[in-house]
Chain A
């Protein structure tokens, strides 16, 4: 085990070197009772020790850079390094969100371009870049829908409908706005059950939240009918953009009948996931919801002929406040750094973003085919079954490991852990919950055919090997299978030394 950062004892010095304070004895300006007596027990280590500590830790962490990361629903595509280089520019890193607009014309121009691009790709009329995560985008859009109903005097609409296959954030976000959640069952093939939807909608329906392609990776052909059912009951349609990577340039939520949508810049537009964040979850809405969007948005006006403006395109960029704005969901103007990275990413594709989606879908279908058609000479115990028997899938697909569990006792989790031994990240496990022993694969467009071939081959090898090896996996990782129950029972949540009393 790597020592913790609190185990370094070499450096007893004054900490990291800094210039001297401008004045002496400034602390006399703080009342004595307010002064801190005991400094926090932070690490006492030098830069060389820390660089090595964190480098060692990084070596025990698996990222896209390390290997194939087919984590379904998370769109773990390559993160171009250009984007990281750009956000080191002082024109973004050393900018304060409260600087007046004449000092940040370049940033506003990028915001404006991103608002426009996202609106075009989704068929929406207005976009805000403020929400800083997908879940926060959901929350923001449901807040706008809530204000829309209130303004119309529709105060009795207190229910939000979600399919049982929805991401957990959907019901959680609607619930934080005060809505009751009506969960409707999916049809046997994982698609929307229109009859179930018809009986769920009513005068109390505020909205339906759904993703398309569904969490099974299958395009929902009856989406326009579903929208019609919800709209005729007076509800609004919300599009969870987690699976947006599958459809750019092919169709869009506007055409499908949605009123609001969130985008995950950390999925579709390659903001790195960073071990759990930061993300960015802008939302787009149709005209009737646009006046409720959080502040600010970016607008622009044409300058008089001959004036090229600060960024040289003849426009003046300015903050805009929608008339009945819900206010703010994050203190500033969103995760600007993520917006700039996403801007740099989208510029690589421009009008060919469609190609990105085509390759994401090509790779998913190819991997699915490879996995489901093993070399007949292999001694595979039993094959998984498809989570959804669709002819084609979109950017991801699901497999049920139930047959394997029944035959050998090996669960989906065991297979997932065994994949780690082969140098892969495990697919998403046990989601959606409607598929038993579910594994969900999303290869993304940035994996080569060779990687997909090799992955299918290794997956088959696992299906053919001694079940005991799989049951006890992983074997080659920095630690063996971690006991999650032990963690929850013992709750060691900090370095135990000198724990402050509570």
Chain B
């Protein structure tokens, strides 16, 4: 109740208005639909009591920092510089709304304009919005955007090709966003090394778009994608889902023909946070600008010609265009994008390269160590990978993971949850925080599983 400054002064205010009681303020609700009695909820608590309960409940969770951890699958166990949460949650940022009044929102507007620039530079495309909800909604809305732009110009309107290795939960989001507006999704297979089958990808030529991921769900970096533009021709949009932290050493998709780049921004700015709030990045070429989703900040001038920033191209958006809007997105993930901007700015170009190298190098070391364990088998031994790789274990992956958890290690993700025919595969994720001792504990615990199950 400490949140109500007028508690105990209700009558004073009612008297001024000439209203006799609080009840009168709700007389407009018809009697038949009024609630009876008190809400069946527990009594109010104080801050002190809530914090105690929160610490008990959250303390019952096993946090990733409490032991060696190798679970990733699209989200990163990262390290966020201390400055980021401390400065980003300054009240002026934290408690502001969407900057509809630019004169008193220059801070967030400029920060988002700078964010747009950093994303643009990162992926090699000129346009970025100020965030989508996550990588999956970015991918889904990239597909609907590409269909809007391309449908009248291609032989196969309303048709989009998607890599069959897009993880099922992301695919489900894509299906929900595309099913109602008549978009047909066709899958493109990968070969035994995990690379996109370019012969079959050629079928996408003449469709609205092709969506691929680099690296893909198994962490595989696919050199063949450099030829994708040549394979699908000029008219079909190429949409690429990227691991943003790979782009300090891996060629940005904008440089090999991508029209739209999407991805999970989370590794820059915030911990995995049980899956949210995180943010999706969305960057594109200029041809997509007027039909893209999300908020965009532009530079402008004020009445005296002074540089100023403002939201722009709002005529695409729901509050103006209503059912003809390019998307229903209103609230996005601005504050998390701000955290991302701060993290990227702190890293700088060289810091980014270092970060990418650290992740790659811990991935390589983990692979090398596990390769020497008899009974474990790399699913794609020949393919270059970044951050993640798949390993086949004896028996069920789920049981292997329980076994090594008992030994104190969070060993990865059971790929059987996504693809039942891969029930003995573990997706192992490495990151900048993976240490040599973590790798050696993973190796020991997996060795113990192999011995146990033989």
Contacts and interface: CB of A to CB of B under 8 A. Distances in A.
Interface in A247-300: 247-252, 255-256, 266, 272-281
A414 interface: no
Interface in B88-114: 88-108, 110-114
B4 A104 contact: no
Contacts of A249: 35, 38-39
Contact of A172 (B251, B299, B325): B325
A232 interface: no
Interface string B251-287: 1101100000000000000111111110100000110
5 closest A-B pairs (Cβ-Cβ)? Answer: A332-B275, A274-B335, A15-B351, A91-B58, A178-B180
Contact of B300 (A11, A348, A486): A486
B104 A45 contact: no
Contact of B353 (A39, A44, A82, A482): A39
Contact of B77 (A96, A139, A333, A449): A96
25 contacts: A15-B350, A16-B81, A21-B360, A21-B361, A22-B361, A27-B360, A40-B118, A40-B352, A42-B347, A51-B83, A63-B96, A64-B96, A105-B61, A132-B277, A168-B322, A224-B33, A329-B137, A337-B277, A348-B3, A366-B13, A474-B103, A479-B106, A482-B308, A484-B312, A493-B299
A277 B333 contact: yes
B360 A366 contact: no
Given A34-B221, A482-B302, A172 B318 contact: yes
Contact of A65 (B33, B95, B175, B275): B95
A420 B104 CA distance: 7
Given A36-B251, A39-B248, A63-B93, 16 more contacts: A16-B347, A24-B361, A34-B226, A35-B249, A42-B122, A86-B54, A95-B272, A134-B330, A175-B328, A176-B180, A176-B328, A274-B94, A332-B134, A445-B4, A446-B5, A492-B300
Nearest to A218: B28
A55 B250 contact: no
B245 interface: no
B223 A34 contact: yes
Interface in A142-165: 143, 146
Contacts of A91: 55, 57-61, 63
Interface residues of A, number: 209
Q: How large is the interface on B (under 10, 10 to 19, 20 to 34, 35 or more residues)?
A: 35 or more
Contact of B101 (A58, A64, A169, A425): A425
A16 B127 CA distance: 26
Contacts of A425: 97, 101, 104
B71 A98 contact: yes
- Secondary structure of the A contact surface, majority rule: loop
Contacts of A336: 273-276
B205 interface: no
Interface stretch (B149-157, B165-173, B184-192, B445-453): B165-173
B58 A331 contact: no
A354 interface: yes
Interface stretch (A71-79, A192-200, A402-410, A458-466): A71-79
A172 B342 contact: no
Contacts of A178: 179-182
Nearest to B434: A22
Nearest to A41: B121
A219 B50 contact: no
A91 B29 CA distance: 42
A174 B351 CA distance: 44
A121 B40 CA distance: 9
Contact of A27 (B249, B255, B276): B249
A242 B377 CA distance: 53
Contact of B173 (A330, A335, A366): A330
Contact of A347 (B50, B59, B81): B50
Contacts of B99: 275-276
A92 B61 contact: yes
A15 B30 contact: no
A197 to B, nearest CB: 17
B421 interface: no
A135 interface: yes
